[in-house]
C-alpha cells in the first residue's frame, strides 16, 4: 500500500436517511457542519442522505414495474413502415 495517499482525518460520523429517519454511526472523512446527539450521549457530525439501503427500492423489494410491452407497442406504431 502506498504511503501518504490515504486521508488521515477519519472520525466517527452519523449518516441519516432523511426519507425514513434511519441513522447509523461509522467512521468517515466526510465534511459537514451539522451535528447530532447520538444514542451514547456524544455529539457527532451529521451527514444527511437522500437514500440508503433502508429506503432504496432495490433493497426494500418495492421496485416499480415498468410497462415495457406498452412502450414497445407505442414505438412500433410510431415507426411502422407504411
Sign of CA dihedral 30, 31, 33, 37: positive
Q: Are 9 and 27 in contact (CB under 8 A)?
A: no
Domain boundaries, the chain: 11-78
pTM: 0.64
Per residue in 2-28, pLDDT tens? 888 888 889 999 999 888 888 999 999
Selected residue with higher pLDDT from 1 and 40: 40
**Tens digit of pLDDT for each residue in 16-64?**
988 888 899 999 999 999 999 999 999 999 999 887 777 766 656 666 5
Closest CA to 11 of 29, 35, 34: 29
Amino acid at each position: 500500500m502506498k504511503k501518504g495517499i490515504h486521508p488521515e482525518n477519519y472520525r466517527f460520523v452519523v449518516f441519516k436517511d432523511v426519507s425514513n429517519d434511519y441513522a447509523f454511526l461509522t467512521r468517515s472523512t466526510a465534511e459537514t457542519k451539522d451535528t447530532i446527539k447520538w444514542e451514547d450521549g456524544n455529539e457527532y457530525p451529521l451527514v444527511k442522505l437522500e437514500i440508503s439501503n433502508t429506503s432504496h427500492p432495490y433493497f426494500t423489494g418495492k421496485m416499480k414495474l415498468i410497462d415495457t410491452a406498452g412502450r414497445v407497442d407505442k414505438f412500433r406504431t410510431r415507426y411502422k413502415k407504411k
